[in-house]
Structure 1
Amino acid sequence: MKAVTVRHNLRCSTIDGVFYMFMVGFAETFFPLFILTMFGSEVGSGLVATVPIMLATIVQLFVPQFVHALRSYKRAVVFCAVLQTIMCPLLALVALVGTAPMWVIFLLASVYHAGAVVGGTPWTAMMGLLVPGPVRATFFAKRSRMLQLGAIAAVLAGAALLDSAEKISPTLANFFSWWPWISQAWTTRPVLVCFAILFTLAGVVRAVSTLYLHKHIEPANATAGHRTLSVSEATTRLRHDGRWRLLGVFILFSFAMMIGSPFWAAYVKQIAELSFLEWAWLIVIWYLGKALAVSWAAEIAQRRGKRKLLIYGAILMTPVPALWALSTDPIYLAVAQLIAGMTIATWELAVMLTTLEVFDEDERTSLLSVYTLGQWGSGVSGSFVGGAILDRMPKDHFAFSVIFIASTIARGLVTLLLMRTHRSGLPVAKKN
């Protein structure tokens, strides 16, 4: 691929990613708080972060056939981005109406996440073709920093809007007096109206992201060597050369993480009793931690290898949930979030670089589909464990501490397993 084409694709990928993260900041970051506001359910606020994604991963098992039918990774990714764009205003409508069964929101969130999960598999395969191997670590590290800044801007803007809902509602109710339904909504449920505004903005920025996805220049016959494998065939392939053993550790780590992580938002809002804006600043600090650590992580990957980065990431991530349980002081939580962001950035970069290495190009889509299903199936199982514990206890600090400490113990056990797997070496695909 020509250098000018590579530069064009890298630019489009960065712009797409920034606007995608605007959407994440306006929409899915606030899903748990949306459930809390509308239903007052701590367990529901945690499960909305995992169950819809799990349902989406079941759909993405058909991604190989989908890509084969479209004969293009880019077309598949753009189609999924359009699907996400449509879901955002539908979620806005639910928020504006103010009444709906929880399953309706879970259904819309599932289709929304399907756009990301189903599109994520061909996107990863496409990036494997468009981003040359020697620059992957550096490019994705720089891109990640810009994406974090995009998410930070969206989260802060969204939280500021939600915090000001009660203050601006009388003025806007009067302004919309000519439209009684909207005027009444601003009077009776201003926070939900602000959620509707956020979800609408998410749809707009996702449309811009979709445009830049469409501008990518995909190699001719990019999927010519693409092989569609059945689930059983893909599983057999992953077991070959020990790849399944390594990926199995990643899947188990998802289980360990999701025992506690999905319930952090409810913990901060209900137990620490922080405002929307204070909650948002903790999210911002988490993103800043990711931005700070990603260059360091990329340097380790280049100098010491991906195996070392995996070990460091797992070890550093292990104690994070226990840190949340120690105190609800906002300053302390900010420090804990900074550490959490730095550790998750290290782990995510290591896992992404490793999966690009261990999947053969011609089978990458099929193998990623099975791996993603295993990863999120495990993650949802972890969230069910955390939710079951929380549901059977008073919703107090001790109950949240139990699931956070359980998550820490589970992470530690998986880290020991990863270190054992690490000694046997990292399997590598035949061609990349």
Structure 2
Amino acid sequence: MTAPPVADAALRRDLRFVMVDGVMWSLMVGVGEFCFALFVLAVTGSEVASGLAVTVPVLAGAVLQLASPFGVRALGSQKRWVVLCVALQTLAFVPLAAVALAWPARPAAGEVRTALVPVLFGIAALYWAGGMAAGGAWFTWMSSTVPAAMRTRYFSTRTRWAQLGALTSFVAAGVYLQAYSAGGANVAAFAVLFAAAFLFRAVSTGLLIGTRESTPLPADVRVVPIGEWLRRLVRRSGGLQLVQCVLAMQFTSMIAGPFFTAFIKRELHGSDAEWMMLNGTTILFKILSTPLWGWVATRYGARLVFLCAGIGIAPLAALWVVHQNYVYLLAVQMASGLAWGAWELAVVLLTFETLREHERTSILTTQNLFNAVAMVAGSSLGGLLLYAAGNSYHAYLVIFTVSSIARLAVIPLMWQLYRRRPPPDGTPAAAA
């Protein structure tokens, strides 16, 4: 796990800390975040509550994290705010582990299960608020930590290691839950996973504390009012062309995204092992493709990677309509890993390139809110279409097709972003 060679010893240490922080974060996601919906299902016994667990807390957290720009100003430092928010996210795993440990061996009464839903959602909302509130400030902090000349190669390497961490922890958590469930006790198994997630994020917090901050606040830092943010979004000006593409892809992808698991389990009667293999294949091919996309970004620019990602993502949902043979679906997931791997790397690099540093925290904070709105809106539309089409095998094929058609509409927006090159001095273009 080596960063690109750097002469400055202190900078090498910072880059190493940020690299390992990414791995610790991904391990936390694999054993903690990925398992939350399963935990809600095990505790409440409600498929509805389990489905809402991946959207409602995210939206609530997105509202809470709107305080981020003001928190950064109050503390006078991007780093202090990031560390505070990450610590909050870390502590969110404590009550989750406590619920898992205290859960009775015999199923609790229905009233108890129902009463726990808002409690669990509230804890998850704090988790998401901490993570999203840290995100915008982290990007601004990293712009003064990672030299611009090495960002593409460095973040390509960091992304690859983070994806490997997510794959490893995801598979390990799945195997552990499967083995534990065989013994008849399911809920208590989550205590170990949440405790591990706590430890991973605690290490991550320590690494962030140990990373230097050369510029606590950018010069002329400002909070972009939501009204101005929306006007710039509609006009595709002031750096928000990238944001518009990201929000559009989030909405169109979520029309189908939340329903693939149900399709595999209910309609294709896939086993847990097959479900894990399909998801794991996507993550694996993200890892394998990241060096390729990093090379393309270095040679031809992140905007080309972004455009390739959009072209690759568009047909993915519709490919599930063509055939449902397991080997065929594995090939589709390979393509999915290639496309989404390009997307994730390009979005990181273009966030540095297109958003002005003194506005970045504020713009990304508002983007988090609308990203959550797009997620809920897209999944709600998909759910309505699924219900209207009769919740049948063919109903799933309908929403997969609609999602791919909608994704195609995003590509012209991405093409316009590709055609707008940054100015020669490398500063974000006003209309980028």
Structure-2 residue corresponding to 1:180: none
Partner of 2:86: 81
In the alignment, structure 1 residue 208 sits paired with structure 2 residue 203? yes
**Aligned pairs (5 A) from 1:236-251:** 239=235, 241=237, 243-251=239-247
Aligned to 1:174: none
The two structures, once aligned, show a CA RMSD in angstroms of 2.6
Letter in 2 for 1:7: R
Give yes or no for the alignment of 1:379 onto 2:375.
Answer: yes
Q: CA offsets per residue over residues 113-153 of structure 1, 9 Å max, x none?
A: 11211111111111111111111111111111111111122
Structure 1 distance, partners of 2:125, 2:261, is 19
2:209 aligned with 1:194: no
3-state SS of paired residue (2:188): helix
Distance of 2:176 and 2:370 partners within structure 1: 37
Partner of 2:23: 18
Q: Match for 1:269: what amino acid?
A: K
Q: Does 1:100 align with 2:113?
A: yes
In the alignment, residue 133 of structure 1 is paired with which amino acid?
A
Q: Are the equivalent residues in 1 in contact too, given 2:159–2:345 (CA < 8 A)?
A: no
- Measure, in 1, the Cα distance between the counterparts of 2:252 and 2:48: 17
User: Is the Cα contact below 8 Å between 1:259 and 1:384 reproduced in 2?
Assistant: yes
Name the aligned partner's letter for residue 287 of structure 1. I
Taking the aligned partners of 1:4 and 1:157, their CA distance within structure 2 comes to: 35
Query: What CA deviation, in whole Å up to 9, does each residue of 1:9-52 have, x standing for no partner?
Result: 11101111111111100011123333444456555444422332
* Alpha-carbon displacement from aligned partner over 1:158-201 (angstroms, at most 9, x marks no partner): 1111111243x3xxxxxxxxxxxxxxxxx5xx122222321222
Change (3 A) 1:34 1:277: farther
- Deviation, 1:359, is 1.2
Q: Is the 2:25–2:201 contact (alpha carbons within 8 Å) kept by the matching residues of 1?
A: yes
CA distance in 1, matches of 2:177, 2:412: 42
CA distance in 2, matches of 1:324, 1:40: 29
The 2-side partners of 1:292 and 1:389 are apart by 35
Match of 2:250 in 1: 254
Q: Among residues 263, 267, 270, which one is paired with 2:266 in the alignment?
A: 270
Q: Report the residue type matching 2:113 in the other structure.
A: A
In 1: Cα distance, 2:289 partner to 2:88 partner: 32
Q: Which segments of 5 or more consecutive residues in structure 2 lack a partner in the other structure?
A: 1-5
Tell me how far apart the structure 2 counterparts of residues 47 and 423 of structure 1 sit (CA, whole Å): 39
Answer yes or no: is 1:53 the counterpart of 2:48. Answer: no
1:327, CA displacement in angstroms? Answer: 4.3
- 1:368-421 superposed Cα distances (whole Å, 9 cap, x missing partner): 222232233222211111122234454443232222221111101111333255
1:161 matches 2:176: yes
Match of 2:316 among 316, 320, 328: 320
Q: How does 1:128-147 map to 2 (within 5 A)?
A: 128-147=143-162
Which stretch of structure 1 is more off in the superposition, 27-36 or 399-408?
27-36
Higher mean Cα deviation, 212-221 or 232-241? Answer: 232-241
1:111 is matched with: 126
Asked if 2 retains the 8 angstrom alpha-carbon contact of 1:45 and 1:263, the reply is no
Contact 1:163 1:277 in 2 (8 A): no
Letter in 1 for 2:159: S
Aligned counterpart, 1:173: none
Overall identity of the aligned pairs, in %: 35
Q: Give a deviation string over 1:264-301, Cα, whole Å, max 9, x none.
A: 23333333333434323322211111111111111111
CA distance in 1, matches of 2:170, 2:264: 16
Contact 1:22–1:205, Cα closer than 8 Å, also in 2: yes
Q: Aligned match of 1:336 in 332, 336, 339?
A: 332
Residues 60-93 of structure 1: per-residue CA shift (max 9 Å, x gap): 2221101011111111111111111111132233
TM-score normalized with structure 2 length:
0.87
The answer to whether the Cα contact below 8 Å between 1:307 and 1:426 also exists between their aligned partners in 2 is: no
| Deviation of the 1:234 alpha carbon | 4.1
Separation of aligned partners in 2, 1:270 and 1:199 = 28
Larger helix share, 1 or 2:
1
User: In structure 2, which of residues 133, 141, 144 is the aligned counterpart of residue 126 of structure 1?
Assistant: 141
SS at match of 1:191: coil
Asked if the contact 2:90/2:201 (under 8 Å) is kept, the reply is yes
CA distance in 2, matches of 1:245, 1:121: 17
Q: Per the alignment, do residues 152 and 409 of structure 1 end up closer, same or farther by CA in structure 2, a change over 3 Å counting?
A: same
Cα distance in structure 1, aligned partners of 2:76 and 2:219? 8
Distance of aligned partners of 1:358 and 1:6 in 2 relative to their CA distance in 1, 3 Å threshold: same
Distance 1:46 1:95 in 2: 19
Q: Residues 235 and 367 of structure 1 are in contact (CA less than 8 Å); yes or no, is this contact kept in structure 2?
A: no
CA gap of 1:18–1:297, structure 2 versus 1, over 3 A, is same
Q: Which runs of 5+ in 1 are unaligned?
A: 170-186
Structure 1 partner of 2:411: 415
| Cα gap change, 1:214 to 1:325, in 2 (>3 Å) | farther
CA distance in 1, matches of 2:387, 2:122: 22
In the superposition, relative to structure 1, how do residues 235 and 313 fare at CA in structure 2: closer, same or farther (>3 Å)?
Answer: same
